[in-house]
Amino acid sequence: MTHQVIDARVSPVGRLDVLSQAEVAKLLDTSQGGLYQLFRNCALAVLNCGSMLDDGKALLERYQDFSIKVVQQERGIKLDLKGAPAHAFVDGQMIRGINEHLFAVLRDVVFVADDIIDNRNFDLDTSDGITNAVFHVLRNAGVLQPGVDPKLVVCWGGHSISREEYDYSKEVGYQMGLRDLNICTGCGPGAMKGPMKGANIGHAKQRIADGRYIGISEPGIIAAESPNPIVNDLVIMPDIEKRLEAFVRLGHGIVVFPGGVGTAEEILYLLGVLLHPANADVPFPLVFTGPASAADYFKEIDQFIGETIGAAARELYRIIVNDPVEVACFMAQGLVDVREFRKATSDAFYFNWRLHIDPAFQQPFVPTHEAMRALALHKDQPAHHLAANLRRAFSGLVAGNVKDEGIRAIEEHGLFEITGDAHMMELLDDLLASFVAQQRMKLPGSEYKPCYRVIKG
């Protein structure tokens, strides 16, 4: 099957129009690896906005001839594109929102490479150093707004959801928009797009002209979850761990919609962070919600959480089924508590410095076959450590499902093997089987081939 492509030269619309000669030289280095390949792959994902393809490897293979080159001019920069997806253009002109996202990718890729990775002032082997790096990436992207009351709600959920679940997420977003709440998601389709679309309508009805729809992604996942067109601030974090930390540092509360392994990873990350004794007094409103048809889904998630990381974790969230107004009211009231706590502790409204994040949640996990087999999945450890290891297991499954490098590793070495306590593995196997049965692993209608094998110890 052929796919229409286009060649074009585009100028920036967003917040980046000047690069140094050294930065351009890095981006022109087309040797294997390097900054160019990272930028090319992320740029292709942005240009793929609106496609139903959720397979990073398939996307790269579909547009093998795509190339992108930075052209340095005295008045700024342009991007020279060859073989770009034609659906990113209208009458030969790149869609403005996609243009903004494209240059946001360039901004973040360059900044992380020059100001974070190659900067000896950031010690990425320490917890404080990682948090400082997350702060600087967000600040450079212009998403930190001092002097604004806490009203940014992070919405998590699957990109592979039913129409009923999508419409429900949109209604929840609408109710939050009517209450002047802003939305931050993983920036993709499904439950990441629905709340933004609903909030946009709610903001319009309230004549709120500065509504914020922030999308946070990372290079490994962006190809499977291309930014949806409503995102008006796109940020590309260096890896999944810094992406997750950006969500909880930037956001003031979280709404979780139905999803698959990626959503389970996010839930376990947040619960593990909040379970740390240092965070016992930190208010963080968290609600799981969906239409009536999702009641069993949340029952399964709730049971898994209770029987693995314990009853204390279940006290950290509230499940609200089929009631968008109640979700919005719960979140609005929770943000009042967040505001009062931040004022009382002199913590910033725009970045949650006080939240303690254990290094186990910050250090990047590379899901090799060996690393997946070595995960400590047993109860003989603190609950937040078990949550960290379960989070890593789900992170590996995300890689095996949709990330280019994960898919290739499965093709080369076979299925990931997950081992642990017999009862825990039984719970995990049952949960994953329910995700497969409900088509939550891939887009509906596509055939799912498991990337894992659960081994009961």
| Residue 230 half-sphere exposure toward CB, CA atoms < 13 A | 27
Q: Cα separation of 161 and 347, whole Å?
A: 37
AA identity, residue 246: A
- Give me the numbers of helices (H) and strands (E) for the chain, helices first please: 16, 14
Taking every pair of Cα atoms in the chain, the longest distance, rounded to a whole number of angstroms, is 65
What pLDDT is recorded for position 115? Answer: 82
What pLDDT is recorded for position 402? Answer: 75
Sheet strands (E) in 130-229:
152-156, 182-185, 213-217
pLDDT above 80 (res 18): no
> Residue 414 region, left (φ>0) first, then alpha (ψ -120 to 50), else beta?
left
What pLDDT is recorded for position 31? Answer: 47
Q: Which tokens belong to 262?
A: 């990626």
pLDDT above 80 (res 16): no
Q: Whose structure tokens read 């740029």?
A: 43
Parallel, antiparallel, or unpaired for β 233-236 and 286-290?
unpaired
Name the percent of the chain lying above pLDDT 70.
91
pTM of the model: 0.90
Most confident by average pLDDT, 72-76, 174-178, 377-381, 428-432: 174-178
| pLDDT tens digits, 306-332 | 999 999 999 999 999 999 999 999 999
| Nearest Cα to Cα of residue 242 among 234, 253, 250, 231 | 250
The architecture of the domain spanning 134-457 is 3-Layer(aba) Sandwich (3.40)
Q: Cα separation of 103 and 86, whole Å?
A: 18
Q: How far is CA 13 from CA 76, 100, 138, in A?
A: 12, 6, 19
| Contact call for residues 106 and 46 (beta carbons, < 8 A) | no
| pLDDT tens digits, 207-254 | 999 999 999 999 888 877 789 999 999 999 999 999 999 999 999 999
Beta carbons within 10 angstroms of residue 404's beta carbon: 20
Burial class (CB in 10 A: 0-12, 13-18, 19+), 34: middle
What pLDDT is recorded for position 59? Answer: 74
DSSP 48-99: TTT-----HHHHHHHTTT-EEEEEEETTEEEEEEEEEEGGGEETTEE-HHHH
| Residue 266 half-sphere exposure toward CB, CA atoms < 13 A | 25
| Contact call for residues 148 and 212 (beta carbons, < 8 A) | no
Same CATH fold assignment for domains 5-119 and 134-457: no
Q: How far is CA 384 from the centre of its chain?
A: 21
What pLDDT is recorded for position 12? Answer: 76
Range from 104-118, 133-147, 333-347, 383-397 carrying the lowest mean pLDDT: 104-118
Q: Cα separation of 35 and 29, whole Å?
A: 7
pLDDT above 80 (res 190): yes
409 vs 71, which has greater pLDDT? 409
| Contact call for residues 181 and 151 (beta carbons, < 8 A) | yes
| Contact call for residues 259 and 301 (beta carbons, < 8 A) | no
Q: Cα separation of 171 and 177, whole Å?
A: 10
Reported as type and span, the H/E element at residue 235 is: strand 233-236
Domain boundaries, the chain: 5-119, 134-457
164 vs 431, which has greater pLDDT? 164
The architecture of the domain spanning 5-119 is 2-Layer Sandwich (3.30)
| Contact call for residues 230 and 195 (beta carbons, < 8 A) | no
Q: How far is CA 208 from CA 182, 196, 230, 232, 405, in A?
A: 11, 14, 15, 15, 42
